[in-house]
Every structure is written in structure tokens, then in C-alpha cells.
Amino acid sequence: MNRISKKYKLLLLLAGTMYFTSCSDFLNESDPSSFTVENYFTKPEHARSSVNAIYASMRDPLGSGFGGGPWMMTEFATGLAATDLGQAVNSYFIKDLRNTSDNSYGQNYWASYYRGIGNANLSISKVPTISMDAAESKKLMGEAYFLRAFYYFNLVQMFGNIPLITEPTSLQSEQLRPAAAPVEDVYNLIVEDLKLAEAAGLPWTDPTGKVSTGAVKSLLAKVYLTMAGFPLQKGAEYYTLAAQKAGEVIDSKQFRLFTTYDDLHNPAKKNVDENIFMIQFRTQILPSNWQVSIIPYNKNISQYSDETGGIYATANFVKSYDPADLRVKEKQFFFTKFTNETNRNQEVDLGGYFIYKHFDTVAQTSTANSDLNWPVIRYADVLLMYAEASNEVSGPTAKAYEAVNATRTRAQLPNLAGLSKDQFREAVWKERWYELCFENITWFDMVRLRKAFNVTTKQFDDYVGHQFTYGPVITQRELLFPLPTSEVRNNTNLKQNPGY
């Protein structure tokens, strides 16, 4: 982690400069192998390219194939996901609650996100030294602060006590083997970074996919909501802050729910309307590659040569939906049948409930080159965060009902009404489980709430002691993932999480 020289770190940074840069701009650059940290940050273009590079680490965990994919880590940890991919041993270790510190999924998140943090630290340190338009410089810094907060927020939730590094590092740095910081210190930095991003003058929306004010306020709402719960348990004050920030996003009128679930996986709808913030991909340049994981194992339905059956929903979870819920209808959130790759008039029974909300129809049926982005923050999430947080403060107000009922109306379910505070709380939780499934959100909800949805009783169990429908029982150790073996072995200042 961060054990790289200044020059090598800059080469890693420059590798991401095409994130939002055109090919012509890239070709006009000087030979990047001649750059060092000392001589690179001299022009406004360097500031932009350095910030662009911070985004790149978001993509790394989404890599998928016959070995599975790191993004599946938090999905298998919910007990709501199944797989037919026998060689993806990391998936089974997590799914069966037999995880170890050798799991490459956790290693990928750790290495990728600390690389992103390292690039953010470099930009935060160097961009202010460049002579450029002050307003543009402030906006770039806002993006860098947001991205550093994003990486730290995910890492602290997954791993607990982690190193807190806020300065660029080199081989001479004292931070080569950093000690872990208290969880609250990490959260304090996250909040500080997001407040700086909030004041950076970013636009409310950004159709190119860069950080926007809407994204900043939405993530800040989620951070406050998490701080209100476990492990910090800051309670009412932070529920109030979460409701306030989510309310600002709602009141901005800049976002809206899609009228059809098809738009959730429509490349033409990237970065607009419901999609507040996404991880960016582009067909033929940086195509998204989780498509091979969300289709069944070798059923010959796809133009992709690899059909891995890497992840799909358990039947028990899907059957726990209200039968009237549109989300559970065929080819809404899930699909159980599709046409044969060589004969589209022939229907194939897939043998399970596969994930349609991430399904790129064009890529699967013709190009094998996906143009879909990965959703990070949807407006539906913001509505449900507002409903949950405001209920904890004031009970189920009219605005809280309006927020949760917006997602239910789209699902063709009746409006909630006349509920007590406790009933409303669990109704919103349930809506989050059903609406936001398979978007790397549910496990984080489980840990902050210390609750797990029982798909048989349709009630919420305590997280520790909850039994998955296929047998394993969650223990205290599953509140966190293990620190990667290599990190603990090479850094004696780090202590492994309990139980691993």
C-alpha cells in the first residue's frame, strides 16, 4: 500500500488521464515517462488529468470473469446471492461465511482504493500550486475531496480500523507502514472532505459523470446516516443531518425517478435523472465487464464467449417480494428465461433468478462490448435515506411518506399510510432491500443497522445470529472483512480484525 516511488506513483496517475480526456488531447501530451512529481504539475491541463486519474480506481473491483469479481464480495455477504461458478473460490468463502484474509476480493478493494486515495492526496497537494483559474481549481479540488471521501467511506465500513493517510507518500515517507486510525477519525476526515467538496462550486448535475453537488450531498447524507447507526451510534443528531442533506437533494428538483426500470440499464440514461453518480465505462474504450457474471453458466444466450453464472439472486429472496411488485416481474429486476444465442426464436429456461437490472441488452445480443455504467448513488436511494432518517427524528411525516411511496408507486404497490414510527422504520428498511439489491448497498445497510432481512418471516433479525436460508449463521466477525494477509504481514503496525 503506497510503497511506490514518486515517479512510479505519477506513472500510475497518468495511466488514468484518459478517463474524461479525448484521444486527441492525450496524443498531444508530452512523453509521460519524462514526468516527475516535481516537474509535472505546471499547467491547468495537468490539474485536470491528475484529478481524472483519481476516478480510475473505482473501476478496478468491477472486473469479472471465471474467477468471479471483487464487486460480488458485499453481495455474497448478504446471504441473498447464489453462484454456479465453482472455480470462484473467493465467492464461496464469503457466501458460506468461511472467509479468510487471503481472499483476493478484499485485497483488490484495499489496493485499488488506497491507490485512489494516493492519487487524491497527490492532487490535493499539488493542484493549488498550479497557476490557473481559481474557480476551476476549487472545483477540481472538490472532485478530489469527494473521491478521497468515497474511498475512505467504503474502506472504513469494510475493514474498520484502517490507516488514515492524507499526504502524498514516497519511499522516504514515514507513512510506508502506517498504523490504523480509530474509526471515528476516519469518519471525521470523510465528513470534512465532503464539506469541502460541497463548497467547491460544482454544478448540481454533471452528465459527463464527474462529481457534482448532487453527488456530494447524497454521499454526505449516506455518511451521516451510517454515523447515526453502528459502529459510532451518534443517533438523533446525525439522523437529523442525514435527513437535511437528503432533503436538500430532493428539494433541488434536479433529479427524478425513471418511469421504467429499463432505464436503469439503458446506456442512453447514464449520469442523468435518477443516476446521480456512477462509475464510468465506455464501449470500445473502457467497456464494462460484469456482463459475463450476471448471465447463467453456459446456457448459450449471449454474444459473450464467457458465460460464467457468477452471481444471481437466491430464489428465497426473489419469492419474498410481494407478488404484485413490478420489480419481481420477468425482465424487471430479474430474469429467468432468455432467447438462444443462435436462434432468438428459441427460449431458454435459465434455472435461476438472474440480475436484469444490470443487463446490457445490446452487448448481450450483438456487440459483446458493454456501454453501461455502474450505479453508485441513485435518486431512489436518496428518497429512502430521507424517509428513514426523518422518521428517526420526527416519525412518519407527510414528506417521509411521499419519499418512500415514490419508489412503491413505481413498483405498482399501494402507498404506505397510518404506520407507527417502528412500523414505518421497518417498511423503509424492507423497501431498501427490495429496491437497492445487487448494487453494493445491502450489506452496508445490514452492518450499520445490525439487522438482516429474514426472507422467510419477512421480518428483521439481529445481524449477529441471523441464519442464511442455505445454512450458515452470521457471527460477530462478519461485522467486518479481514485485512488482506499481505498488508498485515508486511506492516506490523496493523492488527488483523477479530476472528480472522
pLDDT tens per residue across span 437-453: 999 999 999 999 999 99
For position 1, what pLDDT does the model report? 44
The string of pLDDT tens digits covering residues 296-306 is 999 999 999 99
Asked whether residue 349 is domain-assigned, the answer is yes
Asked whether residue 230 is domain-assigned, the answer is no
For position 12, what pLDDT does the model report? 43
**5-14, 123-132, 156-165, 490-499: which has the minimum mean pLDDT?**
5-14
> Shortest CA distance to 262 belongs to which of 112, 410, 370, 399?
410
Residues 14 and 157 placed together within one structural domain of the fold: yes
Select from 322, 351, 372 the last residue of a domain: 372
**Cα separation, 8 vs 35, whole angstroms:** 10
The string of pLDDT tens digits covering residues 190-232 is 999 999 999 999 999 999 999 999 999 999 999 999 999 999 9
Select from 372, 390, 416 the last residue of a domain: 372
Q: In CATH, what number is assigned to the domain containing residue 39?
A: 1.25.40
For position 39, what pLDDT does the model report? 78
**35-44, 250-259, 341-350, 367-376: which has the minimum mean pLDDT?**
35-44
For position 9, what pLDDT does the model report? 41
Per-residue confidence at 177, pLDDT binned at 50, 70, 90?
A: confident
The total number of structural domains that make up the chain: 2
Asked whether residue 320 is domain-assigned, the answer is yes
**Quick check: 413 and 312 in contact, CB under 8 A?**
no
Mean pLDDT of the region 462-491: 97
Asked whether residue 51 is domain-assigned, the answer is yes
Residues 174 and 295 placed together within one structural domain of the fold: no
Residues 143 and 15 placed together within one structural domain of the fold: yes
Cβ contacts of residue 48 below 8 Å, gap of 6+?
Answer: 20, 21, 140
* Dihedral angle, C-alpha 104, 440, 332, 291, nearest 10 °: -30
Residues 298 and 168 placed together within one structural domain of the fold: no
- Range of 295's domain? 281-372
In this structure, are strands 275-279 and 374-378 parallel, antiparallel, or unpaired? antiparallel
**Cα separation, 232 vs 270, whole angstroms:** 35
For position 38, what pLDDT does the model report? 74
- In the predicted structure, residue 350 carries a pLDDT above the cut 60: yes
Mean pLDDT of the region 368-377: 98
**Cα separation, 90 vs 78, whole angstroms:** 15
Asked whether residue 113 is domain-assigned, the answer is yes
Per-residue confidence at 174, pLDDT binned at 50, 70, 90?
A: confident
- In the predicted structure, residue 10 carries a pLDDT above the cut 90: no
Secondary structure (DSSP) of 66-134: TTB-GGGHHHHTTT-EE---TT-HHHHHHHTT---TT-HHHHHHHHHHHHHHHHHHHHHHHGGGS-S-H
Per-residue confidence at 125, pLDDT binned at 50, 70, 90?
A: very high
Residues 160 and 305 placed together within one structural domain of the fold: no
Residues 167 and 285 placed together within one structural domain of the fold: no
For position 176, what pLDDT does the model report? 78
In this structure, are strands 347-355 and 180-181 parallel, antiparallel, or unpaired? unpaired
Residues 169 and 290 placed together within one structural domain of the fold: no
- Compute the C-alpha angle 413/417/421, nearest 5°: 120
Select from 354, 372, 390 the last residue of a domain: 372
Please give the mean pLDDT across all residues of the chain. Answer: 93
Residues 146 and 293 placed together within one structural domain of the fold: no
Per-residue confidence at 37, pLDDT binned at 50, 70, 90?
A: confident
Asked whether residue 217 is domain-assigned, the answer is no
Residues 324 and 175 placed together within one structural domain of the fold: no
Asked whether residue 74 is domain-assigned, the answer is no
Asked whether residue 90 is domain-assigned, the answer is no
Residues 310 and 161 placed together within one structural domain of the fold: no
For position 35, what pLDDT does the model report? 63
Mean pLDDT of the region 413-441: 98
Mean pLDDT of the region 56-74: 97
- In the predicted structure, residue 140 carries a pLDDT above the cut 80: yes
355 three-state secondary structure = strand
